[in-house]
Amino acid sequence: MAASIYLKGDALKWMQLYLRDYLDNHEDGSMRLEIDVIFKSYQNFKEALTTVFKNINKTRVNINKLQALQ
C-alpha cells in the first residue's frame, strides 16, 4: 500500500480502485481475491502493475521512436 503513494496518472487511477475495495472490504473478507493477492506482497503489487501497464509503455516508446525519425 505504501508504494502506491508514488503512482501518478493512469496508474494512480488504477490503484485507487483497488485501494477503495481493500479499505472497504478487507475486514469482512468480501474483497475480490485479486485484490487480496496484490496487497499480500510488494512483488505481487509490482507484477500486477507491470502486467497492466507494460503494453502501454511499449506503445509510448514506439511512438516516441517514430516521432524521432521524422
Domain total of the chain: 1
Q: What is the pLDDT of residue 13?
A: 92
Mean pLDDT in consecutive groups of 10 residues from the start of the chain, 70 residues: 84 91 87 88 92 77 82
C-alpha span between 39 and 17 (Å, rounded)? 13
- The pTM score is 0.66
Indicate if the alpha-carbon torsion angle 44, 54, 9, 34 is positive or negative: negative
Torsion on CA atoms 19, 24, 29, 33, rounded to nearest 10: -30
Q: Where are the alpha helices (DSSP H) in the chain?
A: 9-25, 33-40, 42-69
Share of the chain above pLDDT 90, in %: 23
| Structural domain for 54, as ranges | 2-69
Residues 6+ apart with CB under 8 A from 44: 37, 38
